[in-house]
Amino acid sequence: MIDGLVTNLFSIQRSRPLAVAVCLFALFVPSFLTISLRRPELFTMVGVNGVILLSLCISLPIVLLCFAIYWTPARMLHVASKLEGQSVKDFEIEKALTTEDPVEWPALLAGGWTANLILYVVAVISYFRPIRIGVTFIMVGIILLGLWTLIWLMSTVVAVRAKRRLLG
């Protein structure tokens, strides 16, 4: 029963509204909370719209990196599983570009959850300890970028090996 619920949650069609809601929540709320906890004087300097824009600029790269961390290996595995049954000559680039990506929405949902977790951890740390907000988010972004680069390299190696095995 639980595996059916989890499968339905991460299926292509059912995770779309949830993925959008989780990502919108990750884009605005945790960074806004961090800014308001650490630097409430920003509200008087740039206003509420400026703080919302600043929180969006802080959290968007983190959400995109978290999405890429899940999407890269999932997409590689999906493409490799599709290529196993067909030859390289049958593969059409136009068809591959126009078909819907079945791993996009589940990866967006998982990436949004991960970004929420990361951003709320930063908000909790900023509540209990004085931190430099900009440096902290740049450090988090660099860590996520390094993790994504490592995952991308490993996915590329696996994809190249799969293509070599497929070709002969």
For 94-110, how does the pLDDT look when each residue is reduced to its tens digit (9 = 90+)?
666 667 777 888 888 88
**Which has the minimum average pLDDT: 15-24, 43-52, 56-65?**
15-24
Helices (H), 39-132: 42-84, 93-98, 104-128
- Looking at the predicted structure, is the pLDDT value of residue 72 above 80? yes
- Listed in sequence order, the residues at least 6 apart from 98 whose beta carbon sits closer than 8 Å to its beta carbon are none
Q: Give the span between the Cα atoms of 40 and 48, in whole angstroms.
A: 11
pTM: 0.77
- Looking at the predicted structure, is the pLDDT value of residue 142 above 90? yes
